[in-house]
Copies of this chain bind each other. A is one copy, B any other.
Amino acid sequence: MEKPTLPKGTRDFGPAVMARRQFILDTIKGVFKKYGFQQLETPAMENLSTLTGKYGEEGDQLLFKVLNSGDYLKNADPEKLKSKDSKGLTFDISEKGLKYDLTVPFARYVVMNRHEVTFPFKRFQIQPVWRADRPQKGRYREFYQCDADVIGTDSLLCEAEIILMIKEVCKGLGIDDFSIKVNHRGILTGLAEIAEAKGNESSLFVAIDKLDKIGEDKVKEELSSKGFSTNSINRIFEILNFKGSNLEKIELLHSRLEQSEKGTKGVQDIKQIIELLSKFDLAGDSFELDIALARGLSYYTGAIFEVKINNVGIGSVSGGGRYDNLTGVFGLEGVSGVGFSFGVDRLYDAMEELNVFPEDTEESTKVLIAHFDEEAMRYGLATLKALRREGIAAEIYPDVSKLKKQLDYANKKKIPYVVVIGSDEMKSGDLTFKNMKTGEQQRLTLEEILIQF
């Protein structure tokens, strides 16, 4: 018999990893809920008509398509079959696909339920998505996304609260050293006007977004090759190279972009976000206004965010922004909002690298009851019952085995305390209570054990 394997790019999460992932997800979920977000779940499968055309041509290629049930070839075009036209045949034999992200299903949900949804709608969603990407280190074909969005309001309070939530999540995870970078699509548009980039905006944004990675010279080269004049490039870099506090940057942008309506709006928005954050005791530099931040997506129309953890070799762990038109692709115009998401896999890797997972994350059971024989095992059931009655996660080793085996079991499962029961214990009623971390053991009554927790 062949040894079973996992499909490429997919993973099992065994107990140890799962406990750590759950710690991350619970922390994020707790913060989302504290800020008034409500959970939504959508199915794994969506109609291909919902998914296709939303992620560009490359995205369409990366959708996992589900074969129709039954005699799926019945109505397939014989010509396509004969010519082995894989691309052409796909929609004849498949009408469903696995979801590629959480945004399109969210938009679909809002359109389908627009009369029931309470706006402003603060929703979060934590579910796996699937992409038929080439698997590689840190890139999987099934992975969790963790999104929160507020739709149906233009209030900049939402942007301010996203920054608060990012800070609270990082704090909850034990990540101290991180940077929140913020920019605004209006500021980028203003820069494009200064650079006389009309019709060439996205080349500009793509190039300057790489500033961090490839450096000033390379970006300038790229811009030059895309037809930007030396004058334009210099005007842009005068701004990009400006060093200063957020308020100083705002001042500079205010004067440089005063001719640009969108640029001015962008600067004002950022200023207001800072002002709102001050009401939560955050200083003006609680985030970094990063004029070069562009985040690819042309989808964003307002503030954009990106979070990096410092001193680890891992890309951004969170990002998002404001958009004007979530549901236009489904015929419902005017649904604007702002959202952000956390990358669970990257957070996991970063936390592992920083060694900040709390030690007890992997603890599931608090107490194991170990025993020397059948009689001691039965005697131990009363202890087990009493522990669980107090809400303490407890288990008894279910077989009569050598004590060493039972202690090994506790160690492997990271169970911090073991109660050992033998004939002495049964005679005296005092139980042996062993701390597995220190190795220390005491004789305690059941009552004395219970008050340890």
Tell whether, in the assembled complex, residue B67 and residue A41 are in contact, meaning their CB atoms are under 8 Å apart.
no
Q: Which of A111-119, A188-196, A203-211, A261-269 forms part of the interface with chain B?
A: A111-119
Tell whether, in the assembled complex, residue A112 and residue B4 are in contact, meaning their CB atoms are under 8 Å apart.
yes
How many A residues have CB within 8 A of the partner chain? 107
Q: Which of A61, A150, A154, A399: most chain B CB closer than 10 A?
A: A399
The yes or no answer to A199 lying at the interface (CB within 8 A) is: no
The yes or no answer to A109 lying at the interface (CB within 8 A) is: yes
Encoded as 1 (CB less than 8 Å from any B CB) or 0, chain A from 2 to 34 comes to: 111111001111110011001000000000011
Q: Which residues of B contact A39 (CB under 8 A)?
A: 15, 18-19, 22
Interchain CA distance A88-B39 in the complex, whole Å: 42
The yes or no answer to A147 lying at the interface (CB within 8 A) is: no
Encoded as 1 (CB less than 8 Å from any B CB) or 0, chain A from 72 to 91 comes to: 11101010011011100110
The yes or no answer to A155 lying at the interface (CB within 8 A) is: yes
The yes or no answer to A279 lying at the interface (CB within 8 A) is: yes
Interchain CA distance A311-B59 in the complex, whole Å: 51
The yes or no answer to A35 lying at the interface (CB within 8 A) is: yes
Interchain CA distance A67-B73 in the complex, whole Å: 13
Interchain CA distance A78-B84 in the complex, whole Å: 8
Tell whether, in the assembled complex, residue A86 and residue B111 are in contact, meaning their CB atoms are under 8 Å apart.
no
Closest to A50 in B: B4
A85 to chain B, nearest CB (A): 7
The yes or no answer to A178 lying at the interface (CB within 8 A) is: no
The yes or no answer to A142 lying at the interface (CB within 8 A) is: yes
Encoded as 1 (CB less than 8 Å from any B CB) or 0, chain A from 141 to 164 comes to: 110000000100111011000000
Interchain CA distance A155-B374 in the complex, whole Å: 11
Q: Which residues of B contact A69 (CB under 8 A)?
A: 61-62, 64, 132
